[in-house]
Structure 1
Amino acid sequence: MPENLYRAELLTYPGAWAFQLPRAGIILVTDQELRDLEDPDKQINLSLGHEPRMESLRQVCERAKAQGCRTLILAFDHFSASTVPAWGTRCSLYPDKPEYIQRIAGISKFAQQYGLGLELSLLNPLEIGPGYQQETGESGKWMHYRKGLRDPETGAFSVQLWRQTRWAANKGAVNIESDSVRVFAFRERRVGGTSYRAVNPDEIIEISDSAQVELLGDKREGMERVRVYGTGHPELGKLNRVLVVQVYRVPEMDYMSDKAFPYLERLIDRYADAGVKLNALYSDEAHIQQDWSYFGHHDHGQFAMRYVSDGFAKKFAGKYGDQYKDFAKYLVYFCYGQEDFAHDLSATEPVMHVFGDSPEEIRKTALFRSWYYRLLQDEVVDLFVKAKKHAEKRMGFKLEARAHATWAESPTIDMWRVGEENLPKNQYEYTSNFVWSNTVHQAAAACSDYFRWGDFLTGNGNDHAEGGWLDRDYYAQALACSTGLLNKVPYSYAAHWGMPNETSQRRTNINNAFGTAGSPLFGMVEDMSHREVEVLMLYPFDLVAVEERFGSWMTQYGYADMMTQNKVVECGQVKDGALILGGRRYTTLAATFEPFPKPELLEMMKTLAEQGGKVIWSGPPPVIDNNGNHILQAWQDMFGVDYSPSRNEGLMAPGRQVAFEGILEKVPSQVILTDLLVDHIYPVSPREGSQVVAGAQNHILGVHRVLPSNGSFTFLGFRPRDDQSASLGYETRTWFEVFNSLGSYPGTGKSGEVNDNTEYLSRTTDYLFCRFPNGTVAVAKHFFNYEEGWPGGFARNPEEDKKILESRPLPPDEIHLKDQVVNGHKVTFDGTSAMAFRRDSAGNLIAFAGSNCNEITFDGKTVQFADQKLPQLAWAPVPENRQIPNGARVQLMVYGTGRIRIPAESLSSPMDAFVEGPTPGSRGETVPSVLEDGKIVIDITPSIQGRWIYLVNRKVN
């Protein structure tokens, strides 16, 4: 499918470069606003803030055309609706309703007169439902489960729960209908030494015919309290527990139905046949229906709802066994901590239910939950990927869908009990006051796997640093570099909001260094790509399946890329001692929590080590693979250890200290913080030829095995901590020191015995250093020791923020490098914020971005590019895939005024300079320039500062 390429007069905008193109936007908050747009001259309030902004469709389109926009965003956004008086008044106009299509067609026809295509929220699960329900007779189904007591003699039971009545998400509020109530009787037995209760699935018996429902009159926003009760079935004898399942009909699709894709296909055809021109798909928070409220849907502290449509149950049973056809009764194995009826301390314990009491049966129960989350995620993504491809076929080109899938993130929206303290500054470590993660909410809504959603989304990205959280461990930047890795447009963003503007700029400096969609000035130097690194860590997708309290992170570590094991197996290959993934080479692969590995993953690890690479496994040794088959023996043989699995996943060791020896002897000792699952330890016995490298008390927790290839396997039977933010008052750096001791961050060898590796320097100096595939080196002053302490709202109060910053001044962001070795270079530089430079094979400076500077010295060569320090300037050659005949060869921008001198050694012919015209990439007025001592000299005047300037080969008469 061809790209919808924007071709300007001087250059093109392929791939990620298209993200720099301006686009107009109309964000709707009511049905009436869409109806009002039918009159292109009627003005409506388009403000997303508290001050009104009245404009008509015609005015928006005229301005868009003048700016060179080719896309008009038209979407409903419930988040924006909260800032205007008509909050939440979307009632009937959804993309799969005829009236909506008719009105959109009229708007599209009008916009096309101005050369505009639409960006519609068309293929978003939140928007497709009412029409689907009406046309197919199907809907989504959610099941809400609650455990209770049953008298085995009389059969009497009584269970209360919060019945859902209304949910609100990014596309508006929807009403939830009660479909039915089902009740199952069962019995359980305690599994000694654990918080597990064994339940035989064959002994779970439905007794729904005895159930009655009573409304208790207690109504809250979007829910009401109900009691489900009954008596009878004394013949069931010892079944002394019940599982109540409240089934909801939700106005969304049955995503696994045979009718789902044909419906989406017809829907797209209706738009295309109506003459709607699509340029993009507005895809912000593209998850299935759920409510925004983070922790407001919990029964006795558990998020106790799962999507189980008829199509899902059929699909799950077809894949994993006929016993799952009636999925409702298996929801008992999702129950967590619902023991409020207990007469002992177990009432507050995280009690879970398992298939049996053997170590294997317990793990197979967690695997069952993993299957649920994986199938739900995969089926939803695959459906919309398929629909997107059909839409692209109808439009004739690729459709951009740039956004992220979740409405909440882990750890950002995870909950710690902090009293009156600021929450964000406490969200960097699993400590004893950790309460609950939002990951299970996201997993149930089919959006917890950022990497899988990358198959649909363009570029991908995350909003982790939202609501005032600064992400001082750079976890979100590392995640963005990772989700961009395999995307068809490999350039993700690490967005942020909810902080003072000055603080926001400091985080942008870090984005600029990482290459995570910061300033376009840095993007052009770095070729719109992410930094590269030698270490890949496996993203712990299955942590929530083992215990749903926990998030999608084990350690927030910013100096490695991340990937799910599924994507590693699907897209990776081992070659010449490295794992090749997305065109990058990783010589170290580390597992952080991988209880159900694919056999192919272990085979890749084995091959990597045999070819000289490094493999590290932390956390629980795997007993079974992703299909439930035995895999422990193969794992033990690889890592040179023996492990005896118990019914618990590891041992509790709160307060114990892990000490290191052997090849890891320089790693500082580490304290095990808590008794939580994430901090469990896994003692092993080393086999002959394996070296002990870590232990706690009498337990061996670390073993290192070297292969003849000099590759290695390292097992760490605990959670290595790493927190550069020092959120607990001290820094921990176990992961970094382990990687460094194993040689995962090698220098280039061009700086003698000094390690000039960018990640090594980032953890041993005051600066963040990054390197890029095109040879660029970037640097920013670290910003990890400034604690959060401000309201996290989206709209800012400048006066309030000013007072906050006056009371807590920001640290300096000055950069002072003196003969700093980095990635094979020796650099001297003075400036602020962030800096990036690139040289060609001849050693000439060909690209640069920096602030408050006028020169740089690298490899003994000083380049003065301005007569005085300028607030900001950048230049870079136009890459070949952007060039057109007689077009731009160099692109630059300067903030401030004065004379600049752009090195011209690499330019093959004389150049003329032009400022950009009114539209992107257009030729504006000529900028006077001269070639002087191998440099192009330009005087930057107030009229051209802050505008793109293009250098074009001079025409020869």
Structure 2
Amino acid sequence: MKKKSLRLLGILLGVFIYPWASISAEEPTPMNGEMPENLYRAELLTYPGAWAFQLPRAGIILVTDQELRDLEDPDKQINLSLGHEPRMESLRQVCERAKAQGCRTLILAFDHFFSQYRPGMGDQMRSLYPDKPEYIQRIAGISKFAQQYGLGLELSLLNPLEIGPGYQQETGESGKWMHYRKGLRDPETGAFSVQLWRQTRWAANKGAVNIESDSVRVFAFRERRIGGTSYRAVNPDEIIEISDSAQVELLGDKREGMERIRVYGKGHPELGELNRVLVVQVYRVPEMDYMSDKAFPYLERLIDRYADAGVKLNALYSDEAHIQQDWSYFGHHDHGQFAMRYVSDGFAKKFAGKYGDQYKDFTKYLVYFCYGQEDFAHDLSATEPVMHVFGDSPEEIRRTALFRSWYYRLLQDEVVDLFVKAKKHAEKRMGFQLEARAHATWAESPTIDMWRVGEENLPKNQYEYTSNFVWSNTVHQAAAACSDYFRWGDFLTGNGNDHAEGGWLDRDYYAQALACSTGLLNEVPYSYAAHWGMPNETSQRRTNINNAFGTAGSPLFGIVEDMSHREVEVLMLYPFDLVAVEERFGSWMTQYGYADMMTQNKVVECGQVKDGALILGGRRYTTLAATFEPFPKPELLELMKTLAEQGGKVIWSGPPPVIDNNGNHILQAWQDMFGVDYSPSRNEGLMAPGRQVAFEGILEKVPSQVILTDLLVDHIYPVSPREGSLVVAGAQNHILGVHRVLPSNGSFTFLGFRPRDDQSASLGYETRTWFEVFNSLGSYPGTGKSGEVNDNTEYLSRTTDYLFCRFPNGTVAVAKHFFNYEEGWPGGFARNPEEDKKILESRPLPSDEIHLKDQVVNGHKVTFDGTSAMAFRRDSAGNLIAFAGSNCSEITLDGKTTRFADEKIPQLAWAPVPENRQIPNGARVQLMVYGTGKIRIPAESLSSPMDAFVEGPTPGSRGETVPSVLEDGKIVIDITPSIQGRWIYLVNRKVN
């Protein structure tokens, strides 16, 4: 079973709610993009950019073709349930309710996941796809009907999973996947026999598809063991095709979606000592050849067909926008390896054009993707992670990993670029920008990575690389062109992740940090960190953390934080190439929540150094850290050098680079920067399991750290310091840490190991190496307004019981930490309330109470008592102008107490309406209260008397007047049951 985005939870109530909402079809206005924004302008305020995520939308999720056909009758009721309880509704009923609630968008999408909640639907095959004429005709009819209610559609149109059958029929092309398996060959007779699991059906978000066998190819080669390593050298020129001798036998062992076959043959004795074979089963898959010259013209024509048919698009439903693959985790492995790669004709042509004619027949190069397929071996190598390389030198070994990196990068880039181009064409036809809010993957790392835990709960063990780590799902995602969240941000609106799914809590706050990072460069810079698969009460605790981070939590915090992410001074490079060096591993080295992340490609593309900081997405980073970057771009090293020369801090952990991303020598330049000498060996570093890294010099306060395993991620990289460089870390006789200070007071720090950091204490104890390193180097400085006390939000977050965050608009947010409550419940999407109640009774949640007494944070001194999370903002004159909190009645900031209620209010928030949302005679302050009684909103910053109005039936509309008076510099409003939980707007009073 796969996972499902939290964005669909809103449909359980029949309407999408914040933070996943649509843009209306009103008044396109200019934005930074090529097309104007489709701005929703209400009576009292507007909803630009991320604010549009607060708008509601209606939704219909289909799981069969018949349901789409049934919608032709707008009065026919069908089961639209996304949970255990049926929900019978007609298209007309959905549209009528949507209009009454002010929706402007109707989601209409197919999602195979929810067939489990609709009895009898099962694994039905689809025949209606968005690129088929009948589908377009039916959608056009639904769109015409929905337009009567002012609704545009959000269609799953530009999603690789949706486009294939029509493409095949019109172009004669399709996607091709290649399934590879290594075996023995008798060099005297040429006899070989290899078994593998031939794929016959895959199922993904958009339903099940049949996989056709296109051909079987066989290549003979020989390999040479490289002593002291798990590598086998294979000369590409000696890989010879012998497909003419191959036969295929069905072995009769059939499983769901696969069957066992044997590929065998003999002959070609002239090939002599070629004693190995690579068998490649080629599949024809109903999807596009994304690199074909026909691909974009086809998408362009497809979009035109929808536009010409009168379909009104408001958005593109883009959940899990990856190329074809199967949901099943670890269910497509031959001898433990995910042994399939997308290699269409167009891909092979594109790869050869970019990297050399030798790759025209890419198929034989799949031998360099083989990993651990030594089940025929007569020695212990049968269970080793054996890989094949171009040659036996350190450089040739790394060039092989770079070759794999090129594969993943080209596949990812070409798919994203194709759909970005198609999206722009769709926007041109519609006349405005189309929101595409979702994330690209169907599985995440570490969430779906595998550890051997016996009968223990898996999620609570998914925080560290330990000796029982088995395999990551990252290679599955990378092969499906969706492992680079940042690259997909060029297509997706806002972006986001579902890392905390299936019951995993993300107690190191890694997913929140990732959301802050993927939002950074987005056209709408506001990502979500969704979660599901846990009791509702537990879910709320994680929402508290989202509220503090600003990762699409409650709209009450969104208005205070201006729908933006928290700020931090540290940027860490996202280890995109870890999977290329060894495919067993994930897309993480350490799950660290107190830094932003970015791929080196995006840093080089979008970053610039100015005044001692890296400027990226409008944020300033004074520390840049590499976590595993074996193939850096020369521009990255130049950027690092400039940063340090201007006073910034550069940290490099993991392997020193031998070659750059183009295969050119780069080690010398790297050594000169970091003031060390490094001698690369054939292995990437040394194994040092159980060794202890001790720190000295500027890092002397960092606690010693144990190297946990012999895995690649835990290898060490000894260096020799040059003159002027200081030793700061070591293990036994190895120097593993060197620090070099520049005249600018900037610095280069090399850490030749994996710094661990696990605030969740998942191993029974906390590790905090990354934090202590950053802290020792001064990466988390205080404001200087609190004397010698460090009031930095990240520093406080690792040294107190609370998570503190700060925001570009000056907001400070706080939540009680939620990292020591271990997972231990079923991870299903639809919950069983009685079962969850029993779980929580046996494992009571910790308190979420917040008690701050003269707490210094970000230049303020705060006293506050409440629960869940709290955020405040002051203006330049020191007035409290924005606040969100729960079970509270007052807050004291810098010695000034603001009492906003006589009794503790369950939840409330207020904030000024930002200028980009204001309209003439519209709202100037926005507030919401859960609870009843008098509340007092500070009015010192308001320039004129205000009238209060509750929101009407649609977003931003003027409802009935709410009585209010001005007393002692505060606007006093009596919250009655009829207006609690509704937006209230303060509007400048009209002067007669």
State the TM-score bracket (shorter-chain normalisation). over 0.9
> Given the superposition, is the C-alpha separation of residues 442 and 637 from structure 1 closer, same or farther in structure 2, using an over 3 Å criterion?
same
Q: Which residue of 2 aligns with 1:577?
A: 612
Could you tell me how far 1:317 is from its partner in structure 2? 0.1
Q: Is the 8 A contact 1:536 1:590 kept in 2?
A: yes
C-alpha displacement of 1:551: 0.1
**How far 1:224 moved relative to its partner?**
0.1
Measure the CA separation in 1 of the matches of 2:751 and 2:93. Answer: 62
Distance 2:472 2:63 in 1: 30
Aligned partner of 1:481 in structure 2 is 516
Contact 1:726–1:785 at 8 Å: present in 2 too? yes
Q: What's the secondary structure of 1:464's corresponding residue?
A: strand
The whole-number CA distance in structure 2 between the counterparts of 1:154 and 1:165 is 32
Deviation at 1:85, TM superposition (A): 1.8
> Deviation of residue 537 (structure 1)?
0.1
User: Contact between 2:184 and 2:276, CA under 8 Å: does it hold in 1?
Assistant: yes
TM superposition shift of 1:83 = 1.6
CA deviations over 1:778-810 (Å, ceiling 9, x no partner): 000000000000000001111111111111100
SS at match of 2:262: strand
Tell me, in whole angstroms, the C-alpha distance in 2 between the residues paired with 1:61 and 1:694.
65
The structural deviation recorded for 1:50 is 2.1
Give the structure 1 partner of residue 17 of structure 2.
Answer: none
Q: What is the distance in 1 between the residues matched to 2:76 and 2:463?
A: 50
1:77-120, Cα deviation, whole Å (9 max, x unpaired)? 01111221243455300000000000000000000010000000
Shift of 1:215: 0.1
Matched-pair contact (CA < 8 Å) for 2:79–2:118: no
Distance, in Å, in 2 between the alignment partners of 1:89 and 1:561 is: 41
Question: Percent identity over the alignment?
Answer: 97
Deviations 1:699-725 (A, max 9, x none): 000000000000000000000000000
Which secondary structure does the structure 2 equivalent of 1:601 belong to? helix
Output the CA distance in 2 between the equivalents of 1:110 and 1:54.
Answer: 19
Conserved 8 A contact 1:622-1:635 = yes
Query: d(CA) in 2 for partners of 1:50 and 1:725?
Result: 33
Match of 1:21 in 2: 55
Deviations 1:635-688 (A, max 9, x none): 000000000000000000000000000000000000000000000000000000
**Does 1:3 find its partner at 2:49?**
no
Answer yes or no: is the 8 Å Cα contact 1:88–1:172 preserved in 2: no
Partner Cα distance (1:939, 1:801) in 2: 37
Within 2, Cα distance between the matches of 1:884 and 1:469? 43
Distance in 2 of aligned mates of 1:25 and 1:671:
51
Contact 1:376 1:446 in 2 (8 A): yes
Secondary structure of the residue aligned to 1:17 is helix
Whole-angstrom distance in 1 between the partners of 2:579 and 2:931: 51
Deviations 1:839-862, CA, capped at 9 Å, x for gaps: 000000000000000100011100
Secondary structure in 1 matching 2:974: strand
Match for residue 389 of structure 2 among 354, 359, 362: 354
Deviation, 1:49, is 1.6
- For 1:562-593, what per-residue CA distance to the aligned partner results, in whole angstroms no more than 9, with x for missing partners? 00000000000001000000000000000000
Work out whether residues 368 and 400 of structure 2, in 8 Å CA contact, stay in contact via their aligned partners in 1.
yes
- Name the counterpart of 1:725: 760
Give a deviation string over 1:543-562, Cα, whole Å, max 9, x none: 00000000000000000000
Structure 1 stretches of 4+ moved >2 Å: 86-91
Deviations 1:375-432 (A, max 9, x none): 0000000000000000000000000000000000000000000000000000000000
**Which secondary structure state, in structure 2, belongs to the residue aligned with residue 131 of structure 1?**
helix
Residue 832 of structure 1 corresponds to 867
Alpha-carbon distance in structure 1 between the residues aligned to 2:648 and 2:546: 30
The Cα offsets for residues 257-296 of structure 1, whole Å up to 9 and x where unpaired, read as 0000000000000000000000000000000000000100
* Distance (whole Å) between structure 2 residues aligned to residue 431 and residue 89 of structure 1: 38
Partner-residue secondary structure (3-state), 2:253: strand
Which SS does the other structure have where 2:470 is aligned? strand
- TM-superposed CA distance for 1:134, in Å, is 0.4
- Conserved? CA contact 1:30–1:88, under 8 Å: no
Paired with 2:823 and 2:88, the residues of 1 have a C-alpha distance of: 36
Aligned partner of residue 215 in structure 1, secondary structure: strand
Question: Counterpart of 1:219 in 2: which secondary structure?
Answer: strand
Structure 1 range deviating more: 181-190 or 76-85: 76-85
Report the TM-score when normalising by structure 1: 1.00
2:191·2:264 contact (CA, 8 Å) conserved in 1?
Answer: yes
Specify whether residues 698 and 669 from structure 1 end up closer, same or farther in structure 2 by C-alpha distance, changes over 3 A only. Answer: same
Which residue of structure 1 lines up, in the alignment, with residue 133 of structure 2?
A: 98
Partners in 2 of 1:810 and 1:292 — Cα distance? 33
Question: The residue matched to 1:245 in structure 2 has which SS?
Answer: strand
> 1:737 & 1:53 partners in 2: Cα distance?
53
CA deviations on 1:831-887 (whole Å, 9 max, x unpaired) are 000000000000000000000001000111000011110000000000000001110
Q: Take 2:589 and 2:328, find their aligned partners in 1: how far apart are those partners? A: 24
Give deviations 1:166-198, integer Å, cap 9, x for gaps.
000000000000000000000000001000000
SS at the partner of 2:37?
coil
Moved more, 174-183 or 74-83: 74-83
Q: Which one of 172, 176, 185 corresponds to residue 150 of structure 1? A: 185
Matches within 5 A, 1:550-589: 550-589=585-624
Structure 2 length normalisation: TM-score? 0.96
After superposition, give the CA deviation of every residue in 1:100-151 in whole Å (9 maximum; x if it has no partner): 0000000000000100000000000000000000000000000000000000
Q: Supply the distance in 1 between the matched residues of 2:160 and 2:89 (Cα, whole angstroms).
A: 30
Any conservation in 1 of the 2:184–2:277 contact (CA below 8 Å)? yes
Matched, 1:12 2:84: no
* Structure-1 separation of matches of 2:214 and 2:644: 54
C-alpha separation in 1, matches of 2:760 and 2:226: 40
Q: 2:841 aligns with which of 806, 811, 816?
A: 806
Contact residue 768 and residue 779 of structure 1 kept, 8 A: yes
Q: Which residue of 2 aligns with 1:404?
A: 439
Q: In 2, are the aligned partners of 1:849 and 1:875 still within 8 Å (CA)?
A: yes
Separation in 2, partners of 1:3, 1:937: 37
- In 1, Cα distance between equivalents of 2:80 and 2:364: 49
Contact 1:288 1:445 in 2 (8 A): yes
Is the 8 Å Cα contact of residues 565 and 601 (structure 1) preserved in structure 2?
yes
Q: How does 1:389-400 map to 2 (within 5 A)?
A: 389-400=424-435
| Contact 1:903–1:936 (8 Å) recurs in 2 | yes
Indicate conservation of the 8 Å contact 1:78/1:88, yes or no: no
> For 1:739-786, what per-residue CA distance to the aligned partner results, in whole angstroms no more than 9, with x for missing partners?
000000000000000000000000000000000000000000000000
The Cα of 1:48 is off from its aligned counterpart by 1.3
1:53: Cα distance to partner? 1.2
Q: 1:645 to 1:765 in 2, by over 3 A?
A: same
1:854 maps to 889
Q: How far has the Cα of 1:731 moved from its partner?
A: 0.2
Moved more, 79-88 or 621-630: 79-88
- Stretch of structure 1 that moved more, 36-45 or 619-628: 36-45
Q: Is the 8 A contact 1:29 1:86 kept in 2?
A: no
SS at match of 2:227: coil
Q: Answer whether contact 1:30 1:89 (CA < 8 A) is retained.
A: no
Alpha-carbon distance in structure 2 between the residues aligned to 1:654 and 1:83: 47
SS where residue 763 of structure 1 aligns?
Answer: helix
- Structure 2 CA distance for aligned equivalents of residues 6 and 238 of structure 1: 71
Give me the whole-angstrom Cα distance separating, in 2, the residues matched to 1:950 and 1:689. 62
Cα contact 2:84–2:830 (8 A) shared by 1: no
1:279-290 paired onto structure 2 within 5 Å: 279-290=314-325
1:930 touches 1:936 (CA, 8 Å); kept in 2? yes
By how many angstroms is 1:459 displaced? 0.2
Separation in structure 1 between the aligned mates of residue 122 and residue 665 of structure 2, nearest angstrom? 52
Shift of 1:516: 0.1
Distance change (3 Å), C-alpha of 1:86 and 1:4:
farther
Question: 2:494–2:522: 8 Å Cα contact kept in structure 1?
Answer: yes
Contact 1:29/1:89, CA 8 A, preserved across alignment: no
SS of residue paired to 1:328: helix
In the alignment, the residues of structure 1 paired with residue 302 and residue 120 of structure 2 have an alpha-carbon distance, to the nearest angstrom, of 29
Cα offset for 1:507? 0.2
Question: 2:195, 2:261 within 8 Å by CA — same for their partners in 1?
Answer: yes
Q: Distance in 1 between matches of 2:228 and 2:385?
A: 13
Establish whether residue 63 from structure 1 lines up as the match of residue 97 from structure 2: yes
